[in-house]
Amino acid sequence: MIAERDLHATVSCVRAFTTVAIGLLMAVLFAPAVASAAPDECNEPTCVGGITGGVVLGATCSNTAYFVFGTTSSGRLVFCGSPRRYGPRYFRSPPLAGIRDENSSCTGSETFVAQAPDGLFLTCVTKDDTSRWLRGDV
């Protein structure tokens, strides 16, 4: 009789454990996904999205306005630009400041380029003693 009670208690414990384990598994599987928060600031190339890898310096490219940055096989940062009278091609890039808003101040970054949140190519332009992030493709 004692062995039967022990067996019954063991089976009850196993059932309880299994029920709890299944409940936890179901909670994990059907819990809403939590979106990871984007960084508040992006001040370096590593957080800039849309950079094309494996670009060849001097090779032709197609978009001089949006997501223009690339890296060569050696890791050099390049951008797609279109000099006068020539088709777009990849050039060595000035330092990339990260993500910036168009028309925001770029004081202190006068020799830098950036990318807007929507991928627009920006360059720091000084005019009338004011430095602003402006379109880099015009």
> Using one digit for the tens of pLDDT, what is the confidence trace for 13-59?
446 544 444 443 344 334 443 333 344 689 988 899 999 999 999 99
Average pLDDT over residues 8-17: 51
- What SS3 string covers the chain? CHHHHHHHHHHHHHHHHHHHHHHHHHHHHHCCCCCCCCCCCCCCHHHCCCCECCCCCCCECCCCCECCEEECCCCCEEEEECCCCCCCEEEECCCEEEECCCCCECCCCCCCEEECCCCEEEEEEEECCEEEEEECCC
Query: What percent of the chain shows pLDDT beyond 70?
Result: 71
Residue 68 within a domain: yes
Residue 20 within a domain: yes
Residue 39 within a domain: no
- State the pTM of this model: 0.69
- Are residue 72 and residue 100 in the same domain, yes or no? yes
Residue 40 within a domain: no
Structural domain range at position 15: 1-34
pLDDT digits (tens, 9 = 90+) for 52-87: 999 999 999 999 999 999 999 999 999 999 988 889
Compute the distance between CA of residue 43 and CA of residue 100 in angstroms, rounded to an integer. 9
How many separate domains does the chain show? 2
Compute the distance between CA of residue 110 and CA of residue 115 in angstroms, rounded to an integer. 15
- Are residue 70 and residue 122 in the same domain, yes or no? yes
- Are residue 3 and residue 59 in the same domain, yes or no? no
